[in-house]
């Protein structure tokens, strides 16, 4: 019975439905994130980089738990500043400064993590660093969303 409640509330407020259709489609939170306007390819490029961040973080956690600090270092280095240089110049030019700062802090954080994993080989230290690096993921996700325009570049 509990599951029916949201539907009943919607049915009871048909006049609000149009106003809140955006909310209904995207979950209960109001959209406060700033849109960044990009081409579809640029959005896909960033999403792909993001999936690399996620899989790299997964590798780091798994390897740190197994105390395999060589794998931690390799996985972290793959997400370092060297990877950031793969961003095309015209895309980079269109990203807000705060976005670039958070992105750079993230790449640098992974470089620091890689260096320490090599020199200290301390799994707990690596996990603490990962927690700090990932606060950049959280901040940026709270601040920005991507909007793609099918007709090419904005
Ligand atoms: C500089 C800003 C920024 C940073 C830092 C950042 N992200 Fe993202 N991330 C975004 C944006 C913007 C999106 C796309 C949201 C949208 O589509 O509207 C995104 C999307 C994603 C997605 C979804 C990708 C897809 O294919 O849909 C994943 C997963 C993700 N991020 C993981 C991470 C992880 C893990 C980190 C940190 C290690 C991270 N991100 C750091 C801005 C950032």
Please return the burial class of 53, using the count of CB atoms within 10 Å of its CB with bins 0-12, 13-18 and 19+: buried
Q: Is the CB of 39 under 6 A from ligand 1?
A: no
51 CA closest ligand 1 atom index: 29
Q: What is the pLDDT along the chain (154 residues), one digit of tens a residue?
A: 445 445 444 444 444 444 444 444 555 668 899 999 999 999 999 999 999 999 999 999 999 999 999 999 999 999 999 877 778 888 989 999 999 999 999 999 999 999 999 999 999 999 999 999 999 999 999 999 999 987 544 4
pLDDT tens profile 26-42: 556 688 999 999 999 99
102 CA closest ligand 1 atom index: 1
pLDDT tens profile 135-145: 999 999 999 99
d(CA 123, CA 66): 9
Q: Is the CB of 26 under 6 A from ligand 1?
A: no
Phi, psi of 33 (to 5 degrees): -75, 145
153 CA to centre of ligand 1 in angstroms: 21
14 CA to centre of ligand 1 in angstroms: 35
Q: 141 Cβ partners below 8 Å, 6+ apart? A: 33
Q: Is the CB of 57 under 6 A from ligand 1?
A: yes
pTM of the model: 0.83
Distances, alpha carbon 138 to alpha carbons 30, 51, 102, 144, in Å: 17, 14, 10, 10
Q: Which fold has domain 33-149?
A: 1.20.120
Q: Is the CB of 53 under 6 A from ligand 1?
A: yes
Q: Could you tell which of 53, 57, 79 is best to mutate to test the pocket of ligand 1, judged by most ligand atoms within 8 Å of the CB?
A: 53
Are residues 153 and 41 in contact, defined by beta-carbon separation less than 8 angstroms? no
Enumerate the domain spans of the chain. 1-31, 33-149
């Amino acid at each position: 019975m509990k599951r029916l409640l949201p539907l009943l509330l919607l049915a009871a407020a048909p006049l609000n439905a149009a106003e809140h259709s955006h909310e209904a489609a995207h979950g209960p939170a109001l959209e406060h994130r700033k849109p960044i306007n990009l081409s579809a390819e640029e959005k896909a490029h960033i999403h792909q980089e993001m999936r690399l961040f996620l899989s790299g973080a997964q590798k780091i956690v798994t390897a740190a738990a197994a105390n395999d600090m060589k794998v931690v270092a390799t996985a972290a280095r793959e997400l370092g500043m060297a990877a950031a240089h793969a961003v095309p110049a015209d895309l980079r030019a269109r990203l807000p400064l705060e976005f670039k700062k958070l992105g750079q802090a993230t790449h640098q954080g992974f470089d620091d993590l890689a260096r320490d994993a090599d020199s200290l080989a301390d799994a707990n230290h690596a996990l603490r660093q990962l927690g700090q690096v990932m606060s950049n993921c959280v901040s940026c996700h709270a601040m920005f969303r991507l909007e793609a325009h099918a007709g090419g570049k904005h």
